[in-house]
A and B are shown apart, each in its own frame.
Chain A
Amino acid sequence: MSNNSKIDLDTLKKLGKLSRIPIDETGSNELMEDLNKIIGFIEQLNEVDTESVNPLSSVTGHNLPIREDVVDDGNKNNDVLENAPEKKSGYFVVPKVIE
């Protein structure tokens, strides 16, 4: 586990990009401080020996439930589009994406 991992402005900007939350330069110091506090706090897990421990995948203890291949959903265009901030001719509308 990485000790002294710290979030700097560069990392913060990358995180902002990945989560589509813009980093406001003015507030970024406080945010970095807060995040680094949390990182510092969670570092204590280093103290726990987890050699040969399987990560917990689920607390439930049951198997993945499966469903039969039948069409029992969809066909509700109105519900799907009901809350759309912008829609047209049955489509969702967004600012254009140029690839």
Chain B
Amino acid sequence: MSNLLQFSISEALALLEKKEFSTKELVETYINAIEKTKDLNMYLTTCFDQALEQAKISDQNYLNGNQRFLEGIPLGVKDMFCTKGIETTASSKILKKFIPTYESTVTQNLWKEGAINLGKLSCDEFAMGSSNETAAKGEVINPWNFEEKRTPGGSSGGSAAAVAAKAALAATGTDTGGSIRQPAAFCGVVGLKPTYGRCSRWGIVAFASSLDQAGPITRNVSDAALMLQVMSGYDPKDSTSSNKDVPNFYNDLGKSIKGIKIGIPEEYNSDGISSDILNAKDMTINFLKENGAEIIPVKLPLTKYSLPVYYIVAPAEASSNLARYDGVRYGARIDGNSLDEMYENTRNLGFGDEVKRRIMIGTYVLSSGYYDAYYLKAQKVRRLIKNEFNEIFKQVDYLVTPTTPTTAFKLGSTQDLLTMYLNDVFTVPASLAGIPGISLPIKLDKNKLPVGIQILGKDFDEQGLLNVAKVIESCASFKDTPNGAAS
């Protein structure tokens, strides 16, 4: 039997239907792959027994011709999604042994369509980070040049690595400031952050409520469309959930991009950005031109203020969202002689340093005397940034930018806080504005590390984004695989 790991979601669905192989075989193959790649430290919890049980159901469905949209597709789930009966920790010690009695809406949507949960994937603690180095159970190693011990990116480092290493056919991630797109770029896979409100946040551990969005990390653009279609949808339990219709993203892929206008914002540049990344951008521009798109240089002067806005708004919301982790109702508890002592002991030992830093900053910018100067100011600048995107989308249909200023750096190499934050410089603006963004791999750089390109679109135009990405993908023909992959 040919290597089952090679098939994308759409391919696997077709072959499963044809009964070329069974779901059981597919799941077993992935279980082996996970075993094989365990040194990459991607999975926090696995649920193989449950997966094999689900596989039986999927096979039965294929037999009866009742197969659902994603029947039998083995996925990894970022540990920010609450999964019923399966430990969910947000990669933090403070949620050790927390077993939700409920399933997040997004993952429930996936299971309802027959997808199968292989296990929970590591991420930066509470999704705060760009390198997966803050995970309580330790760093995840990028399968690309794995012996060099590079970061897979973050916060959805485990998810991106698993997809790249073929330890999951696809994975869910969350993106708050770039946490799907940046690791996708570092791992040479496709990562999509939908429009804010497209996917429900119910049951996803909240980091920054006005920014968090669930999204798919996949091997190719078609798979992303399939996943997004299932993950999306209005949820009455989430007041920020949009009730816009969910298009048939997969079916409507492949539209011509002739005549569409692509903006190239000049600000998406940084000192010392590698020539490989700039080259990837140029290659992309050429692909688009060749396919009839019009390329227009544009200016987004407020771009540089996105990071400071982000580092006010996100920590502020996080400082409040993480107040519930107090050892009273779930998770770890470290006792004390008084209630406050218990809170302090629990949170001191339960939270890692980056989380603590962000809680402190968040508390500071909301505190009396500083609220106007920081939080309120940031929300005003945020509105200007959103307006700026709205204006630009009157002139162009999409924007193309590099996803990251560098390729995957070595673990432990970033000592400076601000340098780490700068990893998100190209991804944060879209998060603040709520617009959708996708990253896909274009080529390898001189160190044989993947380079990703980002496409941004208008609110709720994920379809358009996927179309453009599909065109670029076929032109780029990125076929490389990491040496740390299962096969």
User: A: which residues have CB within 8 A of B?
Assistant: 1-2, 5, 7, 11-12, 14-16, 18-22, 24, 31, 34-35, 37-39, 41-45, 47-48, 50, 53-62, 64-65, 67, 76, 79-80, 82-86, 92, 94-97
Q: How far is the CB of A10 from chain B (nearest CB, A)?
A: 13
B210 in complex: contacting residue of A12, A48, A58, A82, CB < 8 Å = A58
Task: Please count how many residues in chain B sit with their CB below 8 Å of the partner chain's CB atoms.
Answer: 73
* B311/A41 in contact, CB under 8 A: yes
Write out the residue numbers on chain A whose beta carbons fall within 8 Å of the beta carbon of B344.
20-22
* B338/A79 in contact, CB under 8 A: no
Known: A20-B340, A21-B347, A37-B418. A48 touches B357 (CB 8 A): no
* A38/B417 in contact, CB under 8 A: yes
Q: How far is the CB of A69 from chain B (nearest CB, A)?
A: 14
CB closest chain-B residue, reference A16 = B360
Q: Is B36 an interface residue when CB atoms closer than 8 A count as contact?
A: no
Q: Is B1 an interface residue when CB atoms closer than 8 A count as contact?
A: no
What 7 A-B pairs are tightest by C-beta distance, nearest first? A59-B434, A55-B379, A83-B330, A85-B333, A50-B380, A20-B343, A56-B383
Instruction: Give CA–CA (A83, B328) in the complex, Å.
Output: 9
B264-272, B283-291, B369-377 - the one binding chain A: B369-377
Q: Is B335 an interface residue when CB atoms closer than 8 A count as contact?
A: yes
B99 in complex: contacting residue of A7, A82, A92, CB < 8 Å = A82
Write out the residue numbers on chain B whose beta carbons fall within 8 Å of the beta carbon of A61.
459
User: B: which residues have CB within 8 A of A?
Assistant: 97-99, 101-102, 196-197, 210, 236, 239-240, 242-243, 302, 304-305, 307-309, 311-312, 319, 323, 326-333, 335-345, 347-348, 351, 356-357, 359-361, 363-365, 367, 370, 373-374, 376-384, 386, 417-418, 421, 433-434, 459
CB closest chain-B residue, reference A24 = B348
A62 in complex: contacting residue of B243, B383, B384, CB < 8 Å = B243
CB closest chain-B residue, reference A7 = B364
* A92/B383 in contact, CB under 8 A: no
CB closest chain-A residue, reference B355 = A21
Q: How far is the CB of A79 from chain B (nearest CB, A)?
A: 4
CB closest chain-A residue, reference B97 = A83
Instruction: Give CA–CA (A85, B328) in the complex, Å.
Output: 7
Which of A12, A56, A80 has the most chain B CB atoms closer than 10 A to its own CB?
A56
Q: Contacts A24-B348, A60-B196, A97-B338 known; list 8 others, CB within 8 Å.
A: A15-B364, A22-B348, A37-B418, A42-B312, A47-B305, A48-B305, A48-B381, A60-B434
Known: A7-B364, A56-B383, A84-B330. A50 touches B239 (CB 8 A): no
Write out the residue numbers on chain B whose beta carbons fall within 8 Å of the beta carbon of A35.
357, 360-361, 364
Q: How far is the CB of A81 from chain B (nearest CB, A)?
A: 8
* B360/A19 in contact, CB under 8 A: yes
CB closest chain-A residue, reference B342 = A95
